[in-house]
Amino acid sequence: MTLQEAIGQLFILGFEGSQPSNALEAFVRDLTPGGFILFGRNLGSPEEIAALTNALQTASSTPLFFAIDQEGGKVARLQAPFTRWPSAEVVGAAGSTELTTAIAASMGRELMTVGINMNMAPVLDVLTNPANPVMAGRSYDSDPHMVARHGIAFFRGLTAQGVIAVGKHFPGHGDTTVDSHVALPIVPHDLDRLSAAELVPFAAAISAGIPALMTAHLLIPVLDQELPATLSRRILTDLLRERMGFHGLVISDDLLMQGIADSTSPREAAVRFLEAGGDLMLICHDQAAQRQALLAVVEAVEIGRLSEARIRVSCDRIARVKAQYLHRRSTASAEEIRAIVGCDAHRRLIERLM
């Protein structure tokens, strides 16, 4: 793998359209991305989603991550005929980690059937602020230990179906009053409070072996007075890697969200994220910004700001996760897809939960 191909592996990209095309397949071969993230604009029928993911996997020289935000409740990209899963809040209120695991496993079956192998879930944020505009309904509980138990149960359910779980949003978005999609939230707590609440579910998930965590665009002055968590070496390396012992994939939230983009261009954010200790950059739209960010990383290596060894460290982490999870599978038939997506067994599971 050349250096530029290796750098491409450090990106998960969004794209337009829901059908395979020559232009999209050329985009895969040109940028060699580590994977793609799917939104409503990419999602047709279950059979069409399977055809899309299969075509792009075939066009890629390396297995691709296909990621989606399928938490349940209001954050669920897959619509009918896929099962409409309840929110984390509803699942947490049921108080059964067995049910949480069963729901995640059933969700994972539907994802894998159409070629989606990575879920940007579970949410590990502790909802300690009822006025939080972005996390309402998305957190399992206001008790960090309950969030930890359900988050681990959810991760294990996905894993049982071969889906990569991505816990989010490190180091904790639960006590904010600003949506990081539109501005940079500030978390004013001291280290004792963070250790007793926000960090508890992440520490538990790390101990349980979760393969990936997503960063939050948050400013936490007690940890770093200048840089948001996504770009902070003090948070991603000193805290997450060294003190908390996380050796899995660190994935950024979308680098075009205003919590980052208001102060840092995609080019600079990509380089700073890698300097901080991150592995996989998420850029959900804007092909020009995606190309500029990739080129910025190439240029940073050429001028010595980033070392090639640093790139290879993240590539090795990505390769290990791909080797563990992304095995070439035969494409599901239309009959298999119809038998799994939105099936009666999944509806009965929801009825049992309720």
The pLDDT tens digits of the residues spanning 7-45 come to 999 999 999 999 999 999 999 999 999 999 999 999 999
Residue 180 has pLDDT above 90, yes or no: no
* pLDDT at residue 328 tops 80: no
The DSSP code sequence of 224-282 is: -SSS-GGG-HIIIIIIIIIIS---SEEEPPPTTSHHHHTTS-HHHHHHHHHHHT--BEE
Q: Is the pLDDT of residue 330 over 80?
A: no
- The C-alpha R_g of the chain, in whole angstroms, comes to 19
Q: Closest Cα to residue 174, out of 124, 214, 219?
A: 124
Region 305-309 average pLDDT? 97
Q: How far is CA 113 from the centre of its chain?
A: 19
Is 253 part of the annotated catalytic residue set?
Answer: yes
Residue 326 token pair: 């992304």
pLDDT at 231 over 90: yes
In the chain, the largest separation of any two C-alpha atoms, in whole Å, equals 59
pLDDT tens figures, 238-262: 999 999 999 999 999 999 998 898 8
User: Residue 153 pLDDT > 80, yes or no?
Assistant: yes
Handedness of CA 35, 321, 162, 94 (dihedral sign): negative
The 10s digit of each residue's pLDDT in 83-121 is: 999 999 999 999 999 999 999 999 999 999 999 999 999
pTM: 0.96
- The catalytic residue among 253, 254, 286, 344 is 253
User: What pLDDT shows up at residue 300?
Assistant: 98
- Band the pLDDT of 124: cuts 50, 70, 90: very high
114-137 in b/e form (b: 16+ CB < 10 A) is bbbbbbbbbbbbbbbeeebebbeb
Helix axes 22-31, 46-59, angle to 10 degrees: 40
Instruction: State how far the Cα of 6 lies from the Cα of 352, in Å rounded to an integer.
Output: 46
| Cα gap 190→327, rounded to integer Å | 43
Please report the pLDDT score of residue 176 as a whole number: 80
Determine the pLDDT at residue 207.
98
- What is the reported pLDDT for 177? 73
Domains of the chain, CATH where assigned: 8-353 (3.20.20.300)
DSSP code at position 219: B
**Cα 296 from Cα 226, distance rounded (Å):** 22
What confidence tens digit (pLDDT) does each residue in 38-92 have?
999 999 999 999 999 999 999 999 999 999 999 999 999 999 999 999 999 999 9
The rounded Cα 154 to chain-centroid distance in angstroms is 14
The secondary structure of 270-328 as a DSSP string is HHHHHHHT--BEEE-S-HHHHHHHHHHHHHHHHTTSS-HHHHHHHHHHHHHHHHHH---
Residue-level pLDDT at 258: 86
- Model confidence band, residue 179 (pLDDT cutoffs 50, 70, 90): low
Residue 205 DSSP SS3: helix
Indicate whether 310 pLDDT > 90: yes
Share of the chain above pLDDT 70, in %: 98
Backbone angles phi, psi at 72, to 5 degrees: 105, 160
**What is the reported pLDDT for 174?**
84
Q: In what order do the strands lie in the sheet with 164-170?
A: 249-251, 212-215, 164-170, 118-119, 65-68, 35-38, 11-13, 281-283
Contact 223, 193 (CB under 8 A): no
Q: Which amino acid is at 55?
A: A
> Mean pLDDT over residues 201-227, rounded?
97
| Confidence check: pLDDT of 183 > 80 | no
Q: Name the phi and psi angles at 176, rounded to 5.
A: -135, 155
C-alpha 300: how far from chain center: 25
Q: What share of the chain is helix, strand, coil (3-state, %, to 5)?
A: 50, 10, 40
